[in-house]
Amino acid sequence: MTFARGECVNAVMTIHDLAQELQERFRPEAAVGVDMVIRLDVSADEHLLLRVSDGTLDVSRDERPADVTFTFPDLATTKALLRGQANAIDAFMHGRFRSDGYLMMAFRLMELFGSRSLPPTPND
């Protein structure tokens, strides 16, 4: 195994691991006043449903409707984007993730988990 920044790079991540990491990385202060359901399709047959409600997060594998769905080719891409290890704009432009709704919600998603995947805005 290879380690970078204290993390095991070659370890295989499961959907359960991703759900746990999202719970740990969630920034309640970024979700005050937010009420939305985000579906992360992290592979062809696995997904997570993130219910954000005024500073709280519930992660499940429910099948209820979502406000927006982000589709990723695999868990590794999902992990890299949410951790800030890959550039979200480049990934989108190269088809490494898609959205079925309002793409600007991707910015909110990254903000909720403290990702550095997005370039800085003029106000940063």
pLDDT of residue 6: 44
Q: Report all structural domains of the chain as residue ranges with CATH numbers, in order of start.
A: 3-112 (3.30.1050.10)
* pLDDT tens across the length of the chain (124 residues): 333 444 445 467 899 999 999 999 999 999 999 999 999 999 889 999 999 999 999 999 999 999 999 999 999 999 888 888 888 888 888 988 888 877 778 878 888 888 766 555 555 5
Per-residue tokens: 7? 């993390």
pLDDT of residue 11: 61
Is residue 25 within 8 Å of residue 96, measured between CB atoms? no
Neighbour-count burial for 70-101, b at 16+ CB within 10 Å, e otherwise: bbbbebebbbbbbbebbbbeebbeeebbeeee
pLDDT of residue 87: 83
